[in-house]
C-alpha cells in the first residue's frame, strides 16, 4: 500500500505555556518597556487582581524575573523592579558600544546584505510619523538585533542576548523621556548609509556617537530621576 502522507501544516501548533511563564513574560515586557520603572514595588495581591490570576503564578513569575536580574528582594519590603545604578548604566552603554562596533567591522568585512537594517529604519520612520512610541521601540530593538545578527558571530550574539535585557530597559526609559520620536528614528539611517558606502571610519564613529548619547546626561541624575521616592 502507498503510505498516506500527512497533510501540510497550515497553522502552527497550539503551545501549552505554563501560566507562570505567561505572567513572567508579561511582567518582563512591562519592565523592559519602561512601564514598570526601576524601583517599583511588586505587590502580589495587586498584580494578581490586575492580571486576573491567583497569587501563586505571580510569585513564581517574580522568581523567574529575579533569576533574570530584573527584580530584587528588599528586606522587610518585599520585591521590586531592580533599580539602575549610574555605574550599571555607564557600563552597559560602554559594552554595547564595543559589541556594535565589532558587529559593524564584521559586516564591512563580509559584505553582509543590509536589507534588514533598511527595513527597520523605515519602520522607525513610519512609527515616528504616526507618533507611535511602542512601534518605534519594537523597530529600534529589531534594528540593533539585526546589526548583531549580521555580524555572523555566534559568541557575540550569545553575549549580546545576555546584555540586551538591560540595554532594552535603558533605551525604553530614555526613549519615553524623549518627546521627539523623529529624532530617535533619524539616528539610524546614517549608520546604514555609512555601512553601505563601506566607510568604516564614519560607520564606527556614528555607532560610537549613537551609543554614547547617555553622555548628554549626568548619569547619576538620570538614574536618580528614575527611582520613585522611598515611603
Q: What is the pLDDT of residue 115?
A: 96
Instruction: Cell numbers for 59, please give them.
Output: 510569585
Class of domain 19-81 as given by CATH: mainly alpha
Architecture (CATH level 2) of domain 86-217: Up-down Bundle (1.20)
pTM of the model as a whole: 0.74
Rounded distance, CA 145 to CA 160, Å?
Answer: 9
What pLDDT digit, counting tens, does each position of 59-74 carry?
A: 999 999 999 889 999 9
Longest pairwise C-alpha distance within the chain: 76
Strand pairing report for 41-42 and 71-74: unpaired
Domain range summary for the chain, segments of one domain joined by +? 19-81, 86-217
Rounded distance, CA 203 to CA 210, Å?
Answer: 10
Per-residue DSSP letters for 103-120? HHHHHHHHT---HHHHHH
> Each residue of 212-231: b (16+ CB within 10 Å) or e?
eebeeeebeebbeebeeeee
Mean pLDDT across 142-151: 95
pLDDT band with cut points at 50, 70 and 90 for residue 219: very low
Instruction: Cell numbers for 84, please give them.
Output: 539602575
Q: What is the pLDDT of residue 61?
A: 95
Q: What is the pLDDT of residue 34?
A: 80
Taking 90 as the threshold, does the pLDDT of residue 20 lie above it? yes
Mean pLDDT across 170-189: 80
What pLDDT digit, counting tens, does each position of 68-122 carry?
A: 889 999 988 899 998 888 788 888 888 999 999 999 999 999 999 999 999 999 9
Taking 90 as the threshold, does the pLDDT of residue 196 lie above it? yes
Q: What is the DSSP letter of 77?
A: T
Tracing cell 553575549 back to the chain, one arrives at: 159
Taking 60 as the threshold, does the pLDDT of residue 225 lie above it? no
197, 49, 185: which is closest to 122 by C-alpha? Answer: 185
Amino acid at each position: 500500500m502507498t503510505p498516506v502522507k500527512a497533510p501540510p501544516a497550515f497553522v502552527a501548533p497550539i503551545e501549552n505555556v505554563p501560566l507562570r511563564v505567561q505572567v513572567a513574560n508579561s511582567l518582563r515586557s512591562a519592565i523592559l518597556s519602561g512601564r514598570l520603572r526601576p524601583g517599583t514595588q511588586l505587590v502580589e495581591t495587586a498584580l494578581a487582581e490586575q492580571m486576573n490570576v491567583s497569587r501563586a503564578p505571580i510569585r513564581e513569575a517574580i522568581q523567574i524575573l529575579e533569576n533574570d536580574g530584573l527584580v530584587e528582594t528588599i528586606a522587610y519590603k518585599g520585591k521590586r523592579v531592580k533599580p539602575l545604578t549610574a555605574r550599571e548604566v555607564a557600563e552597559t552603554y560602554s559594552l554595547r558600544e564595543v559589541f556594535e562596533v565589532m558587529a559593524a567591522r564584521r559586516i564591512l568585512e563580509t559584505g553582509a546584505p543590509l536589507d534588514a537594517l533598511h527595513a527597520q529604519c523605515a519602520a522607525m520612520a513610519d512609527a515616528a510619523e504616526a507618533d507611535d512610541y511602542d512601534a518605534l521601540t519594537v523597530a529600534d530593538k529589531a534594528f540593533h538585533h539585526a546589526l548583531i545578527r549580521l555580524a555572523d558571530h555566534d559568541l557575540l550574539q550569545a553575549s549580546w542576548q545576555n546584555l540586551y535585557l538591560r540595554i532594552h530597559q535603558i533605551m525604553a526609559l530614555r526613549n519615553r523621556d524623549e518627546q521627539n520620536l523623529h529624532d530617535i528614528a533619524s539616528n539610524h539611517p546614517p549608520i546604514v548609509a555609512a555601512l553601505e558606502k563601506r566607510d568604516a571610519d564614519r560607520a564606527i564613529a556614528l555607532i560610537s556617537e549613537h551609543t554614547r548619547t547617555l553622555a548628554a546626561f549626568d548619569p547619576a541624575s538620570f538614574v536618580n530621576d528614575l527611582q520613585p521616592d522611598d515611603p
